[in-house]
Chains A and B, each alone.
Chain A
Amino acid sequence: MIFYIARRLLLAIPVLFGISLVAFALVRLVPGDTATVMLGMQYTEARGEQIRAEMGLDQPVPVQYAIWLSRALSGDLGQSGFTGQPVTRALRERLPVTLQLASSAVLFALVMALPLGMMAAVNRGRWPDHLAMTVGVAGLSVPNFWLGILLILLFARTLGWAPSGGFIHLFEDPVGNLRTMILPAFALGLAVAAVLIRTMRASMLDVLGQEYLRMARAKGCGPLRLYGVHAFRNALVPVLTVLGIQVGYLLGGSVVIESVFGLPGIGLLALEAIRNRDYVLLQGVIVFVGTAFLLINLTVDLLYAWVNPQIRYG
């Protein structure tokens, strides 16, 4: 296991390096140099030269990358060209909102997917199965931003059950926080739920065909214990692995959902960076999100290898 962990960690290093390279290269693709973009209408030759010198933009590109990377490794992702705020501070301030949105979406997805997937597998070929699979395909097909708009229209503007946007901190007003999060979590979590329903169904079908369940049934084990305990526990492992893969969707989807609901998270930060042409900030968001996604997937892989020895010795 230690060898497996060491190998996976070593493989993560070039990927981290690649993420930094992509983020750096994307900003260099922007027409015009960063100083011109940052200063906009206030651009003067002298001010431009000063910014270039401060940011090391007067150096050759490989040197610029080396300077930027060494600063990034020490936790300095630069300063926002628009607000002047350190990028790491902006990320730290916005992270809790995105984390809460993503975890609420996961919670919603699990609550919806596990019973539906299980019900579909147990009733294979019958109407509960067809219903669950239809929800599974439909959930993947509805654009989350459209669903968000419809939810706002129905539950916020028409029924008045939830606010149409904004964010209230959990510690300031827990009930208010829940009300601001419920619609975005549903809009973001539906597609994840759809994927998990299909995974749970397939996984349960695999488990239901195994000998030990037939034995349990033959020994008179009741359906609740048979499906709810014996089958459910074993069917859960692939579901959790797929959930790990869905983190990328949640982080990406949060860009759109935070925009629809006006939630001040990292997704909205990325959009603000793009709209304000704040490329230092955008670079920081890409590096942060990419690294977070990589580490989450690495953790899921290691956990999976821990519970499934075939992976680490394969």
Chain B
Amino acid sequence: MVDSFRHAGQPLCPHPSAVAGLVVLSLLGLLALFAPVIAPYDPFALSGNAMLAPPGPDHWLGADQLGRDLLSRLLYGARISFHVAVLSVGFALGIGTLAGGIAGYVGGWIDQVVSRCVDVLFSIPDILLALAIMAALGPTLNHLVLAIGIVYTPIFARIARGAVLDLRHADYIEAARSIGSSPAAILYRHVLPGILGPLVVQTTLSFAFAILTEAALSFLGLGVEPDQPSWGILLNQGKDLMERAWWIAVFPGLAITLTVFCFNLVGDGLRDALDPRVRAEKRA
């Protein structure tokens, strides 16, 4: 398993754009983590003097219609985006890999049931399914994590199932089976390391989709609670003031775009790095 991770990390070096993406993401992650220390103002503090203040020395990215500092709100918004992305993709990765892995390894009716469930979830567009779940459960941060997690579970299940089906009859798996290893031990020790590559790539790309979905749901008023400074909510609040205060909608949009762009760069770099065909092409 450790070898697989080493293998996944090492070949990113020849992909400067992916490395740049990783550096920017690490920086954004640190900014989000230390937002309470870095943020120049309380993101919820109203200020009558700063209403719609343009970007300047007092408020680097300007202030909103209630005088709240936009930079501070963006930093706290990053915490929400990263929180939702990590937890929802973690949920999807865990449940999807487990279900897909078992379905691919065991086969039979379990495979049929899991595959049909995956087909059903794939048949309802992401945003619509997430919206419907949020409409049923109500807009809270935990429900948002659950909704996005459910939406992205099938892709992990499908990847894990496909990869396990490919590996199921590999010689080393047959050997492990013949010496009496239990199915759980085979799945964990031998199959999981073999499917790690595609899962790592999908996880990285799913972070990007999760951030976009969170922002879209919050923009539509069905994401986090409306008083939270989510990037999607900031955009929604800024859209009607674009002509008077462009910064309220422009900076949150840039923050989403930059974060998603970096995740996509890293995901693409990892995909190229872990694809044996691309590796062979580069060696040639």
Contacts and interface: CB of A to CB of B under 8 A. Distances in A.
B137 A19 contact: no
Interface stretch (B50-58, B158-166, B242-250): B242-250
B125 interface: yes
A141 B257 contact: yes
Contacts of B127: 252-253, 255-256
A187 to B, nearest CB: 12
B21 to A, nearest CB: 9
Contacts of B138: 31
A140 B128 contact: no
Q: Is the interface of A mostly helix, strand, loop or mixed?
A: helix
B242 A149 contact: yes
A18 interface: yes
Interface string A257-296: 0011000000100110011000100100110011101100
Contacts of B215: 143, 145
Given A18-B117, A255-B131, A141 B246 contact: no
B239 interface: yes
Nearest to A256: B216
Nearest to A273: B135
Interface stretch (B61-69, B70-78, B261-269): B261-269
A120 to B, nearest CB: 14
B120 A146 contact: no
A140 B136 contact: no
Interface stretch (A21-29, A53-61, A70-78, A168-176): A21-29
Contacts of B260: 140-141, 143
B132 A18 contact: no
B216 A143 contact: yes
Interface in B198-254: 208, 212, 215-216, 219-222, 235, 239, 242-243, 246, 249-250, 252-253
Interface residues of A, number: 50
B264 A140 contact: yes
Contacts of A274: 131-132, 135, 222
Nearest to B136: A29
A29 B219 CA distance: 23
Nearest to B216: A256
B126 A248 contact: yes
B253 A146 contact: yes
A153 B128 contact: no
A29 B256 contact: no
Contact of B261 (A137, A251, A294): A137
A15 B124 CA distance: 11
B24 to A, nearest CB: 12
Interface in B130-162: 131-133, 135-138
B7 interface: no
Contacts of B132: 23, 26, 274, 282, 286
Contact of B220 (A21, A146, A256, A294): A256
Contacts of A141: 208, 257-258, 260-261, 264
Given A157-B242, A248-B126, A270-B131, 6 more contacts: A14-B119, A18-B116, A30-B136, A143-B235, A146-B235, A279-B135
Interface of B: 116-117, 119-129, 131-133, 135-138, 208, 212, 215-216, 219-222, 235, 239, 242-243, 246, 249-250, 252-253, 256-258, 260-261, 264-265, 268
3 pairs of A and B residues whose beta carbons are closest in the complex: A252-B125, A18-B120, A146-B253
